[in-house]
Amino acid sequence: MGQSMGSFGARNVDLYMNDNPTFDPQTGFSFERKPREMKAREEDLISARIPPQFRDYCAHYLLDYQVCRYKNMPMLYKCAHEKHDYLNCEHQDYVLRMKEFERERRLRLREQRIVGAA
Amino acid sequence: MTSNLLKNAIIVKPHGVRKVAAILSNAVRNHWNYQYKPGPYPKTPEERVAAAKKYGLTIEEYQPYPEDMGYGDYPKLPDIGADSKDPHYPYDCPELKRNFNEPVHASAEIFGEDRYDPNLRPRFSLAHQWTWFLGVVGGSFALYFYLEDFKIGRPVACKQYPGNGPHYLFTPK
């Protein structure tokens, strides 16, 4: 995916870091994509005082981790598994974002090809 | 110290008590002594001679500040920083590179070795300094404007939050 040059390879289609995807999420798929599911409830996140920037699709793991910390306060090593689960989820979230970026780049290139051919 | 002075003044010179009291009140209460004040600006040649004698200068050396500067008859001494004075000369006060009874410059506090020397020869010429300054700052700006078109970030789309619209995995339902 061109990590070493960052988003440099997407300059030619005017795509940069943290850009929003512009195409319909279902185009180009032979199947219907599974929607992401938010497992944590907003009220619980507010009650646990999780800051808004952490209320993403992994928030239920973060909630578990914080509850574990609260219960085992001085012995935080006991929450290693919860932390690992949370960080794994964030990693998968990041991979998904990279996939969305690459999909957006390829779709833009395809659009350019089609417009150029027509 | 004040009590000592008062005792001395009363016992040794009882007639000078009033004078000492005046000086003390001036120096202690007002933090200033009227004797520090220079005399009025010398207008006639006789006054100039008297002023030169007062500051221990010859009449050729003596030159007052312009009258509107308000320095009175205080002499205008050459601006020589302590750094430019001969370090090997046996001064009476080597710390200040000053001899006994040598008149003090009106801006003496800035000409000390720890402050400023107007005769200092700069290590680099002004053109040299400007060249380097403009080279570094201009070069930085040139690089900045040139690289403006080559912005690189990590190849990720924006962070997905449940609040802004449905998001999808890359797996079938």
Q: Do B160 and A57 touch (CB under 8 A)?
A: yes
Q: Is it the case that residue B17 has pLDDT exceeding 70?
A: yes
Helix or strand or coil: residue B75? strand
Domain span holding position A52: 41-118
CB B20 within 8 A of CB B9: yes
Chain A neighbors of B165, CB-CB under 8 A? none
Model confidence band, residue B5 (pLDDT cutoffs 50, 70, 90): low
Count of the separate structural domains present in chain A: 1
pLDDT at position B132: 98
Q: Do B158 and A2 touch (CB under 8 A)?
A: no
The tens digit of pLDDT for each residue in B106-134 reads 999 999 889 999 988 889 999 999 999 99
The tens digit of pLDDT for each residue in A29-44 reads 999 999 999 999 999 9
Q: Is residue A15 part of a domain?
A: no
Q: Do B156 and A21 touch (CB under 8 A)?
A: no
Q: Which two tokens stand for residue B152?
A: 């690189």
Chain A neighbors of B173, CB-CB under 8 A? 31-34
| Rounded Cα–Cα distance for residues B160 and A37 (Å) | 12
CB A37 within 8 A of CB A28: no
Model confidence band, residue B36 (pLDDT cutoffs 50, 70, 90): confident
Tell me the shortest Cα–Cα distance from B142 to chain A, in angstroms. Answer: 21
CB B172 within 8 A of CB A32: yes
Asked if B173 reaches chain A (Cβ–Cβ under 8 Å), the answer is: yes
Model confidence band, residue A78 (pLDDT cutoffs 50, 70, 90): very high
Helix or strand or coil: residue B9? helix
Q: Do A97 and B173 touch (CB under 8 A)?
A: no
Give me the sign of the Cα torsion angle B158, B163, B166, B172. Answer: positive
Element (H, E) at B168: strand B168-172
Model confidence band, residue A118 (pLDDT cutoffs 50, 70, 90): confident
pLDDT at position A99: 95
Q: Is residue A14 part of a domain?
A: no
Contact residues, B window 151-170, toward A, CB-based 8 Å cutoff: 151-163, 166-170
The tens digit of pLDDT for each residue in B52-101 reads 999 999 999 999 999 999 999 999 999 999 999 999 999 999 999 999 98
Query: ipTM score of the complex?
Result: 0.88
Chain A neighbors of B168, CB-CB under 8 A? 25-26, 33-36
